[in-house]
């Protein structure tokens, strides 16, 4: 083995002085023999570069960065088409009662139709078959009763109530309540001698504007016992119950 190494050394010696520098410069590039090898070991020529290895696995996600500033609003897009009407949903449960609202302003008062009268006799009646003139006025604010004729004149169409209460003295009494020249109600009372009697009647009548209503003694003078004085009254009353709405 020492002999082989010596031969190899002689082969690589330079033939002139310039080669000494080259050998000295190359000497450091010689790879030292690995430990535990024989004394005549010599390094080989460097091999070709190896192939790239396979890519490694993805690394772990990094921590989230800070929130950026809010960007500018984008342009308003075109209006979309109206969609179809959806199916009506089921009725929901009844809600709780709401809070009562404020009291409203007072409304205009409805017009009240008024027509009424109440009159009485001042003296004994002696003339039959003409309207009885009740000249004692208890109430006639609308002046729908005319004391000069004894007739009530209808100014408001509607349903009216009429009544009369008469005192009977000295003769029998038969009176009729007339509407437009036609008797619609009769009352007869037979006088009892040495006594004062009373008779009365009432009726509901529907009247049109211009209709007239009055009382008169019916028949001849034998039934003219209608009487009144300072302690006995004979009265005639009428008033509107409700007016026509048509």
Residue 27 has pLDDT above 60, yes or no: no
Token pair for 149: 């004729």
Alpha-carbon span 138 to 191, nearest angstrom: 27
Q: Please enumerate in sequence order all residues whose Cβ is within 8 A of that of 214, keeping only pairs 6 or more positions apart, or say none.
A: 131, 132, 149, 150, 151, 152, 177, 178
Token pair for 44: 């080989």
- For the stretch 169-184, pLDDT in tens is 888 888 999 999 899 9
- For the stretch 72-114, pLDDT in tens is 888 888 888 888 888 888 888 988 888 888 888 877 667 889 9
Which parts of 12-159 fold into alpha helices (H)?
17-26
- For the stretch 29-67, pLDDT in tens is 445 555 555 566 566 787 888 888 888 888 888 888 888
Question: Do 163 and 200 meet the contact criterion of CB atoms below 8 Å apart?
Answer: yes
Gyration radius from the chain CA atoms: 69
At residue 41, the pLDDT reads 59
Token pair for 4: 């082989």
H helix or E strand, kind and range, residue 10: helix 2-11
- For the stretch 210-231, pLDDT in tens is 999 999 988 776 777 788 888 8
Using CA atoms, how far residue 143 sits from 38, 175, 229, in Å, is: 160, 24, 25
Token pair for 63: 């921590």
Residue 22 has pLDDT above 50, yes or no: no
Full-model pTM = 0.56
- The band of 136, judged by pLDDT with boundaries at 50, 70 and 90, is very high
At residue 84, the pLDDT reads 85
Alpha-carbon span 177 to 187, nearest angstrom: 9
Q: What is the mean pLDDT of the chain?
A: 82
Report the C-alpha dihedral over residues 199, 205, 210, 215, rounded to 10 degrees: -10
Closest CA to 153 of 164, 163, 142: 142
Provide the residue count of the chain.
246
- Taking the mean position of all CA atoms in its chain, how far away is CA 6? 123
Which parts of 12-112 fold into alpha helices (H)?
17-26
Token pair for 141: 């604010």
């Amino acid at each position: 083995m020492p002999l082989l190494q010596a031969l190899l050394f002689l082969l690589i010696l330079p033939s002139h002085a310039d080669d000494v520098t080259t050998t000295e410069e190359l000497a450091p590039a010689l790879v030292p023999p690995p430990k535990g090898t024989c004394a005549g070991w010599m390094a080989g020529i460097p091999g070709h570069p190896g192939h790239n290895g396979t890519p490694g696995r993805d690394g772990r996600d990094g921590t989230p960065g800070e929130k950026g500033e809010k960007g500018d609003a984008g342009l308003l897009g075109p209006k979309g088409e109206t969609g179809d009407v959806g199916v009506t949903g089921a009725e929901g449960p009844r809600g709780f009662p709401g809070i009562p609202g404020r009291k409203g302003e007072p409304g205009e008062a409805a017009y009240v139709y008024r027509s009424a009268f109440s009159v009485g006799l001042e003296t004994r009646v002696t003339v039959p078959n003409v309207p009885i003139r009740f000249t004692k006025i208890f109430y006639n604010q609308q002046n729908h009763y005319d004391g000069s004729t004894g007739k009530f004149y209808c100014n408001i169409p509607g349903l009216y109530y009429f009544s009369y209460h008469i005192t009977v003295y000295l003769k029998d009494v038969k009176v009729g309540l007339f509407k437009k020249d036609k008797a619609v109600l009769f009352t007869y009372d037979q006088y009892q001698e040495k006594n004062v009697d009373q008779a009365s009647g009432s009726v509901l009548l529907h009247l049109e504007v211009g209709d007239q209503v009055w009382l008169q003694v019916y028949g001849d003078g034998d039934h003219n016992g209608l009487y009144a004085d300072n302690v006995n009254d004979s009265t005639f009353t009428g008033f509107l119950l409700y007016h026509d709405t048509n």
